[in-house]
Structure 1
Amino acid sequence: MIKRLLPLLVLLTASCGTAQASEAQELRYQGSVGAVTFPELAEDLGYLAPLKLKWIGNTISGPQDIQAAATGQTDFGGAFNGAIVKLIAAKAPIKAVISYYGSDKNSYQGYFVLADSPIKSARDLIGKKIGMNTLGAHAEAVLKEYLKRGGLTPAEVKQVEPVVVPPVNTEQSLRQGQIEVAVLGGILRDKALERGGIRPLFTDVDLFGEFSAGSYVLTKQFIERNPGTTRKFVEATAKAIQWTQTHSRDEVVAKFKEIIAKRHRSEDATAVGFWKSSGVATPGGVIAPLEFQRWIDWLEREGSLTHGQVKAADAYTNAYNPFGANR
């Protein structure tokens, strides 16, 4: 009897903590040109096996990325938490499962003006154009918070114009006078500062301190049908985040360059050489309640949500994250 049970016990042990064979074994996703996402890092480090990623293209828009996940074009997507809340309010059956980006003293979004610009305060932005990568996401939400704290009325806020500018063109648009404020982060910020002639009006860290700002989402249907795959994906991504949080900058940059070289997408790996930190505020990307409640409160003030329409506890879960399953 014991001999007959041994093969079954071995099989059960081998399957523990991994996705079951009947569940999804391949995850479709969108990447980012010249950058490495945490799931891509997780796969390269061996954390994701036996799951595999299937790259279907690139995106620069968080709202578009989570919309693709919500409609089944991809299996997961990532965006600013406020954009996730808005999509949930629109009845999209999605749930955030892990934080993947944020802001700290090394990784942040700055709102820059020309060095000789007369713009000194929020009130000076009335009638001005602010260039950012996409609307309805992180950059616009932070801008609106800055304007509110600066004492602008709702009517005055509407006179400040956020405009979409491709990230690679934002600095040039500022210097040519096409916009008065440029939202810059990462290598684009660092290179612009290196060239001089600009100064920060404010940063997102000035307003909120260090915080995680965006999460990866899965559909509720995907989670229900693929609990093992969901757990494996979140665990692997959490371990990849922690890997960057516990290894030196040089090690992380070297690994990112190695991954970009191996995937053969005809990319320039220069940008990852400017990597400074994950920006994720918690170990392994655990989601803190405030990271959703802050933006729910903002959207309610904006009139985009009615009070209680979306509850933070319903927007995310840490149940699959080994670094904070009880939070």
Structure 2
Amino acid sequence: MRFHRSALATVLAGALLVTSALSGCGKASSAADGKQATELRYQGWVGQVTLPELAADLGYLGDVKLKWIGNTISGPQDIQAATTGDIDFGGAFNGAIVKLAASKAPIKAVVAYYGANKDTYNGFYVLNDSPIKSARDLIGKKIGVNTLGAHAEAITKTYLARNGLTDDEIKQVELVVVPPVNTEQSLRQGQIDVASLSGVLRDKAVARGGVRSLYSDYELLGEFSAGSYVLRQDFIKKNPDTVRTFVTGVAKAIEWSRTTPRAEVIARFEKIIKARGRNEDTSTLQFFKSYGVAGQGGLISDKEFATWIDWLDRAGELKGKQVSAADIYTNEFNPFAANGAAK
């Protein structure tokens, strides 16, 4: 699986059918007869507690209930499912959202949910004895990522370009899709040369030893919110109160996780995961530090989309399409917007 321009286009699968798909999907939770939705369908992540799940457990969603329909390992897949109406909200890397928005998909980002800081970041690791020391050493090598067309790919291309590799040389760096829970093992077994690791999976791998960091999103870009939750615009129009409750709940959950002692946050996560009864391993929760969201309460700023609009445009991915950061997101439903827009 070579690293082609078409890799980022995977996020657009089905996007051309969005209009027809929306006419027949999502009826179960869309407003009818003036009534707003009280149930939001979503996809989760194995062994993790998402911000909406935390918000629900803390009582921040009021009468709005969450309906789990399965798990995902891919942000692009998650927002695609939201676009076609299979779920009501989905989250992904902001660059993937830009690509979807460029295709005229009727979505809107409403709150940030993950990002990078000194404690929480996406790192790219090699084995201690690996001969890979620099960006140029990655030519012809394999990098394990959770999905194509998303965060890990964008960060990798940014790292390679900043270190002087040409477009042709960058195409020789191979991205291999590996489930996150298997990425560390794949690196240690020599199936890949570099592993993209984040969150508790990264910390657990580092704690075991034998690996070293090559680059990270935090080193490249500093603190920033990297991904947002999106909803369909028709859903927002029909269910403004539900959307406000959802965004407010997520925003409050972000701040709760920031201000609550770490041990208490982890204990809450363990309780949530055990209560849902999916036979999940909770040992990795001990490594949780933060969600990494930059803006207060998940407020979104122009730069968090403009950065990737510029990058995708330079890479030729937008094919001349004009995309405005301000058109992709809104802070309208976030109670922290009253304190001033995210900077």
Query: TM-score by structure 1 length?
Result: 0.91
Q: Secondary structure at the match of 1:324?
A: helix
Q: Secondary structure at the match of 2:225?
A: strand
1:235 matches 2:284:
no
Q: Which runs of 5+ in 1 are unaligned?
A: 1-19
Q: Map Cα deviations across residues 255-300 of structure 1 (whole Å, 9 max, x no partner).
A: 1111112222222222222111120011100001111000111100
* 1-structure distance, mates of 2:324, 2:285: 36
Shift of 1:229: 0.8
Match of 1:303 among 298, 301, 316: 316
1:119 matches 2:119:
no
Match of 1:15? none
1:204 matches 2:217:
yes
* 2-structure distance, mates of 1:109, 1:318: 26
When Rg is computed on C-alpha atoms for both structures, the one with the higher figure is 1
Match of 2:227 among 214, 219, 222: 214
Match of 1:252? 265
Match of 1:76? 89
Match of 2:276? 263
* 2-structure distance, mates of 1:262, 1:173: 31
1:289 matches 2:302:
yes
Match of 1:16? none
Q: Which amino acid aligns with 2:96?
A: A
Shift of 1:179: 1.2
Moved more, 60-69 or 108-117: 108-117
Q: Which runs of 5+ in 2 are unaligned?
A: 1-32
Q: Secondary structure at the match of 2:78?
A: helix
In 1, are the aligned partners of 2:124 and 2:197 still within 8 Å (CA)? yes
Q: Secondary structure at the match of 2:314?
A: helix
Match of 1:11? none
1:182 matches 2:211:
no
Provide runs of 4+ in structure 1 moved above 6 Å. Answer: none
Match of 2:239? 226
1:102 matches 2:115:
yes
Shift of 1:176: 2.0
Shift of 1:39: 0.8
Do the aligned partners of residues 308 and 80 (structure 1) sit closer, same or farther apart at CA in structure 2, a change above 3 Å counting?
Answer: same
Shift of 1:117: 1.4
Moved more, 206-215 or 168-177: 168-177
Shift of 1:21: 7.7
Moved more, 289-298 or 162-171: 162-171
Moved more, 165-174 or 212-221: 165-174
Moved more, 271-280 or 311-320: 271-280
* 1-structure distance, mates of 2:94, 2:318: 14
Moved more, 147-156 or 317-326: 317-326
1:56 matches 2:55:
no
In 1, are the aligned partners of 2:111 and 2:229 still within 8 Å (CA)? yes
* 2-structure distance, mates of 1:173, 1:89: 35
Match of 1:24? 37
* 1-structure distance, mates of 2:35, 2:189: 56
In 1, are the aligned partners of 2:204 and 2:284 still within 8 Å (CA)? no
Match of 1:278? 291
The alignment covers a number of residue pairs equal to 308
Match of 2:58? 45
Q: Map Cα deviations across residues 141-167 of structure 1 (whole Å, 9 max, x no partner).
A: 000000010111111111111110111
Q: Secondary structure at the match of 1:202?
A: strand
Shift of 1:307: 4.8
RMSD over aligned Cα, in angstroms? 1.4
Q: Secondary structure at the match of 2:108?
A: strand
Shift of 1:106: 1.1
Moved more, 169-178 or 312-321: 169-178
Q: Which amino acid aligns with 2:250?
A: T
In 1, are the aligned partners of 2:102 and 2:321 still within 8 Å (CA)? no
In 1, are the aligned partners of 2:75 and 2:91 still within 8 Å (CA)? yes
1:137 matches 2:155:
no
Match of 2:169 among 152, 156, 163: 156
Q: Secondary structure at the match of 2:69?
A: strand
Shift of 1:308: 5.6
* 1-structure distance, mates of 2:247, 2:34: 18
* 2-structure distance, mates of 1:34, 1:175: 22
* 1-structure distance, mates of 2:83, 2:222: 31
* 2-structure distance, mates of 1:268, 1:87: 33
In 1, are the aligned partners of 2:145 and 2:176 still within 8 Å (CA)? yes
Query: TM-score by structure 2 length?
Result: 0.87
